Structure 1
Amino acid sequence: MKRFAMWILAALALAAGSASGADVTLGAGDVLKISVYGSPDLGLETRVSEAGNITFPLVGAVAIGGLPVSAAEKKIGGLLESGGFIRKAQVNIIVTAMQSQQISVLGQINRPGRYPLEGRRSLMDMLAQAGGFNADGGDMVSLIRKRNGVTTKDTIDIVEMVRNGDFTRDFDLAGNDVIYVERAPRFYIYGEVQRPGAFRLERSMTVLQALSVGGGLTPRGTERGMRIKRRDAAGVLQVLDAKHDDVVQVDDVVYVKESLF
Structure 2
Amino acid sequence: MTRMRDVLKWLMATMLMALSLGAWAEESSAYVLGAGDQIRVTVYQNADLLVETRIPEGGVISFPLLGSVQIGGLTVADAEKKIATGLKSGNFLKNPQVAILVISVKANQVSVLGQVNRPGRYPLEAGNSRLSEVLALAGGIMAGVGSDIVVVSGVRNGDPFRMEVDFPKVFASQGTEEDMQLQNGDTIWVDRAPQVYVYGEVQRPGAQVLVRDTTVLQALATAGGLTLRGTERGIKVHRRDASGQVKIISPGMNDKLQPSDIIYIKESLF
TM-score range, shorter-chain basis? 0.7 to 0.9
Q: Residue 259 of structure 2 aligns with which residue?
A: 250
- Return the match for 2:118 from 97, 111, 120: 111
1-structure distance, mates of 2:53, 2:255: 65
Structure 2 matches for 1:164-179, cutoff 5 A?
Answer: 164-167=173-176, 169-179=178-188
Does 2:213 match 1:204?
yes
| 1:168 to 1:244, Cα distance in 2 relative to 1, 3 A | closer
Structure 1 length-normalised TM: 0.75
Does 2:160 match 1:151?
yes
| 1:209 to 1:96, Cα distance in 2 relative to 1, 3 A | same
* CA deviation after TM superposition for structure 1 residue 83, in Å: 6.5
Does 2:130 match 1:126?
no
| 1:78 to 1:206, Cα distance in 2 relative to 1, 3 A | closer
1:126-174, Cα deviation, whole Å (9 max, x unpaired): 3344443221222222222412211121222233454352356333332
Instruction: Point out the more displaced range, 141-150 or 111-120.
Output: 111-120
| 1:259 to 1:157, Cα distance in 2 relative to 1, 3 A | same
1:60-90, Cα deviation, whole Å (9 max, x unpaired): 4210013333543554466567668899877
Does 2:86 match 1:68?
no
Aligned AA (2:116):
I
The share of aligned pairs that are identical, in percent, is 44
| 1:48 to 1:165, Cα distance in 2 relative to 1, 3 A | farther
**3-state secondary structure, aligned to 2:198:** strand
| 1:21 to 1:132, Cα distance in 2 relative to 1, 3 A | farther
Q: Is the Cα–Cα contact under 8 Å of residues 81 and 89 in structure 1 kept in the other structure? A: yes
**3-state secondary structure, aligned to 2:127:** coil
Q: Residue 100 of structure 1 aligns with which residue?
A: 107
Structure 2 unmatched ranges of 5 or more? 1-19
Q: Is the Cα–Cα contact under 8 Å of residues 36 and 54 in structure 2 kept in the other structure? A: no
Q: Is the Cα–Cα contact under 8 Å of residues 190 and 197 in structure 1 kept in the other structure? A: yes
1-structure distance, mates of 2:76, 2:187: 24
Q: Is the Cα–Cα contact under 8 Å of residues 230 and 238 in structure 1 kept in the other structure? A: yes
| 1:171 to 1:76, Cα distance in 2 relative to 1, 3 A | same
CA RMSD of aligned residues (A): 3.3
Does 2:25 match 1:21?
yes
2-structure distance, mates of 1:81, 1:207: 72
Aligned AA (1:45):
T
RCO (CA 8 Å, sep 6+): is it higher in 1 or 2?
A: 1
Aligned AA (1:31):
Q
* CA deviation after TM superposition for structure 1 residue 228, in Å: 1.4
**3-state secondary structure, aligned to 2:110:** strand
Q: Residue 17 of structure 2 aligns with which residue?
A: none
**3-state secondary structure, aligned to 1:159:** helix
Structure 2 length-normalised TM: 0.73
| 1:69 to 1:257, Cα distance in 2 relative to 1, 3 A | same
- Return the match for 2:237 from 200, 205, 228: 228
The number of equivalent residue pairs is 243
Q: Residue 52 of structure 1 aligns with which residue?
A: 59
* CA deviation after TM superposition for structure 1 residue 250, in Å: 0.9
1-structure distance, mates of 2:213, 2:76: 49
